[in-house]
């Protein structure tokens, strides 16, 4: 686990607590060091870094890796949460936070992003192909680059194509049953998935209820 936090008064006890929970922890204090680190399984990222804005670090990490990213920040406004999640963070926790909650969030994120026993054959829905084993998506044979959260969202909708999935079901399945962040994050991710798939009709909005996956030729 990589802890990216420049305040030693926070980073030291945090790392010690995570090590007691069985995690192997590496600490860095700058965005540059975070971007140079490799071989990590999860990143705890503070936004207030001395050299590079944490949002930019998040964007760069997500652009090159599917590693789970949990933002830990004093910035608690909804817009900050939305921006962080839109840039590819898997979760967003506002300081001060409870240590037990942090550990639970880490374990929930790693469970959701860990490889699991999935069908060997990709799922085909019209021209859309979803390969859960390799976590790859193609439209008409062209690969579409989705963030881990976007893939999970699409895969959830694809479990029963044409069936409406409620917003709460999406929060429970794709985020966490105890998610307390802004529900608007669903709309942000849906908009991004639509854009990347190349046609908004792939994900239909059912006003007041949720979303369903359509099937285009």
What is the pLDDT confidence band of residue 178, given thresholds at 50, 70 and 90? Answer: low
Torsion-angle region of 208 (φ positive above 0: left; ψ -120 to 50: alpha; else: beta): left
**Within this chain, do residues 19 and 85 fall inside the same structural domain, yes or no?**
yes
Domain boundary among 83, 113, 143: 113
CA 12 to chain centre: 26
What is the pLDDT confidence band of residue 181, given thresholds at 50, 70 and 90? Answer: low
Residues 7-29 have pLDDT tens digits of: 999 999 999 999 988 899 999 99
Domain boundary among 91, 113, 135: 113
Residues 43-65 have pLDDT tens digits of: 999 999 999 999 999 999 998 88
**Within this chain, do residues 28 and 102 fall inside the same structural domain, yes or no?**
yes
CA distance 156 to 88: 18
What is the pairing mode between strands 69-73 and 43-46? parallel
Q: What's the pLDDT at 100?
A: 85
CATH number at residue 181: 1.10.10.10
CATH number at residue 100: 3.40.50.2300
Is 90 exceeded by the pLDDT of residue 31? yes
**Within this chain, do residues 51 and 129 fall inside the same structural domain, yes or no?**
no
Percent of the chain with pLDDT over 90: 51
Largest CA distance in the chain: 56
- Domain range for residue 165? 123-213
**Within this chain, do residues 56 and 139 fall inside the same structural domain, yes or no?**
no
Residues 115-174 have pLDDT tens digits of: 654 445 899 999 999 998 888 999 999 999 999 889 999 999 998 888 898 888 888 788
**Within this chain, do residues 158 and 197 fall inside the same structural domain, yes or no?**
yes
CA distance 211 to 216: 16
Domain boundary among 113, 146, 162: 113
Q: What's the pLDDT at 1?
A: 93
The answer to whether 57 and 31 are in contact (CB under 8 A) is yes
- Domain count within the chain: 2
Is residue 118 situated within a structural domain? no
């Amino acid at each position: 686990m990589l802890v990216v936090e420049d305040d030693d008064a926070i980073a030291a006890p945090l790392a010690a607590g995570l090590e007691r929970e069985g995690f192997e922890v590496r600490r860095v204090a700058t965005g540059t060091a975070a971007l140079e680190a490799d071989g990590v399984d999860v990143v705890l990222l503070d936004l207030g870094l001395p050299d590079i804005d944490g949002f930019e670090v998040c964007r760069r990490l997500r652009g090159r890796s599917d590693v789970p990213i949990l933002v830990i920040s004093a910035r608690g406004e909804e817009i900050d949460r939305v921006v962080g999640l839109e840039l590819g963070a898997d979760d967003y926790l506002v300081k001060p936070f409870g240590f037990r909650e942090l550990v639970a969030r880490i374990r929930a994120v790693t469970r959701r992003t860990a490889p699991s026993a999935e069908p060997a054959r990709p799922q085909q829905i019209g021209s859309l192909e979803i390969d859960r084993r390799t976590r790859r998506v193609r439209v008409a044979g062209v690969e579409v680059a989705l963030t881990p959260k976007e893939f999970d969202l699409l895969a959830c909708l694809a479990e029963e194509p044409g069936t409406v999935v409620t917003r709460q079901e999406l929060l429970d399945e794709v985020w966490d049953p105890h998610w307390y962040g802004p529900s608007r994050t669903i709309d942000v991710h849906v908009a991004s998935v639509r854009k990347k798939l190349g046609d908004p009709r792939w994900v239909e909005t059912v006003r007041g209820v949720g979303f369903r996956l359509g099937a285009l030729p």
